[in-house]
Amino acid sequence: MRLATWNVNSIRSRLDRVADWLDRQDIDVLALQETKCRDDQFPFERFDELGYEVAHLGINQWNGVAIASRVGLADVEFAFPDQPGFDKDAGESLISTPVVESRAIGATCGGVRVWSLYVPNGRTLTDPHYAYKLEWLAALRDNGARWLAEDPQAKIALVGDWNIAPTDDDVWSVEYFADKTHTSKPERDAFQAVVDAGYADVMRPFAPGPGVYTYWDYTQLRFPRKEGMRIDFILASPALAATVTDGMVDREARKGKGASDHAPVIAEFADGPEPS
């Protein structure tokens, strides 16, 4: 199985690019984030023509997540249990009846439980969205641990835009990101908690060291200057991680007019564990 994740920053604006890329890369399952459309606006027909079933969750022009699969699409969930929400009018604190945003969708594809995740940005270290982000990640970690406790052999992929650079190697400038979101200790600890719950970053062994980024801001020529961040990940459960055979960031997909500010991340999995 070739599994990919891509924050496309509007599927309607980049549909042709995504369709061409799917064909070139021979992708079996694609998790999308920031589709930025309602369910009735998603281009299901185009994906159907390409041979993909799609599950999409989009409430308005913000956020939006989807899973496109040509190896089956079953048991779709439109949020993980106890997924926190946020109310834009909450002021300085979360409220008891927040709106659950379109940030998580799960489906079983070819025997793998795939979750397409768009983790809240956090905005600033003092913004209510920062507390929301940490609460959201804690709930994801709790669910991830529970899923493995219920079935240690489950093949689970937690993929998407995590809005966290877990190490200093994952940003172009440590000094630039000091006292900003994405690199703060609580965020990094929250990411590590998901890893510690049993989920491995399966791409890292194939692209070690600094300079491997998945996101480059549109401003200040960040992409040509190679000033990026690694914030998009495929985290796999032990049973799935044992079958990984390759991983990469497709930096070429970030090039050219009309590109998303993120590049796709791809992992390839065999049918079973590699022989010892």
> Can 129 be counted among the known catalytic residues?
no
Q: How confident is the model at residue 29, as a pLDDT?
A: 98
Q: Mean pLDDT check: name the lowest of 42-46, 68-72, 206-210.
A: 206-210
Asked whether residue 276 carries a pLDDT value surpassing 50, the answer given is: no
Q: Which residues pair with 104 in a beta bridge?
A: 117
Q: Tens of pLDDT along 7-30?
A: 999 999 999 999 999 999 999 999
Q: Tens of pLDDT along 145-198?
A: 999 999 999 999 999 999 999 999 999 999 999 999 999 999 999 999 999 999
Say if residues 124 and 181 touch (Cβ distance below 8 Å).
yes
In eight-state DSSP terms, residue 85 is -
Q: How confident is the model at residue 36, as a pLDDT?
A: 97
Q: Active site residue: 28, 161, 170, 201, which one?
A: 161
Question: Of 133, 217, 234, 206, which is closest to residue 172 (Cα–Cα)?
Answer: 217
Asked whether residue 2 carries a pLDDT value surpassing 50, the answer given is: yes
Q: Active site residue: 56, 129, 182, 262, which one?
A: 262
Q: Which residues make up each annotated binding site? A: 7, 34, 161, 163, 261-262
Q: How confident is the model at residue 58, as a pLDDT?
A: 96
Question: From its phi and psi, is residue 145 left (phi > 0), alpha (psi between -120 and 50) or beta?
Answer: alpha
- Beta-carbon contacts of 246 under 8 Å, excluding residues fewer than 6 positions away, are 206, 266, 267, 268
Q: Which residues make up each annotated binding site for Mg(2+)? A: 7, 34, 161, 163, 261-262
Q: How confident is the model at residue 273, as a pLDDT?
A: 45
Domain boundaries defined on the chain: 2-269
Say if residues 249 and 213 touch (Cβ distance below 8 Å).
yes
Confidence category of residue 96, pLDDT binned at 50, 70, 90:
very low
Candidate CATH numbers 3.30.70.1520, 1.10.287.70, 3.60.10.10, 2.40.50.140; the one for domain 2-269: 3.60.10.10
The b-or-e profile of 57-80 (16+ CB within 10 A means b, else e) is: bbeeeebbbbbbbbbebeeebebb
Distance in angstroms (rounded) separating the CA atoms of residues 168 and 70: 37
Mean pLDDT over the full length of the chain: 94
> Can 262 be counted among the known catalytic residues?
yes
Asked whether residue 267 carries a pLDDT value surpassing 50, the answer given is: yes
Give the amino acid at 144: G
Q: Tens of pLDDT along 211-253?
A: 999 999 999 999 999 999 999 999 999 999 999 999 999 999 9
Q: Give the Å distances, CA to CA, from 105 to 65, 108, 112, 116, 186.
A: 6, 11, 14, 5, 25
In eight-state DSSP terms, residue 39 is G
> Can 161 be counted among the known catalytic residues?
yes
Q: How confident is the model at residue 86, as a pLDDT?
A: 86
Q: Active site residue: 28, 56, 118, 129, which one?
A: 118
Distance in angstroms (rounded) separating the CA atoms of residues 183 and 155: 29
Asked whether residue 98 carries a pLDDT value surpassing 90, the answer given is: no
Asked whether residue 274 carries a pLDDT value surpassing 50, the answer given is: no
What percentage of the chain has pLDDT greater than the value 70? 94
Distance in angstroms (rounded) separating the CA atoms of residues 39 and 44: 9
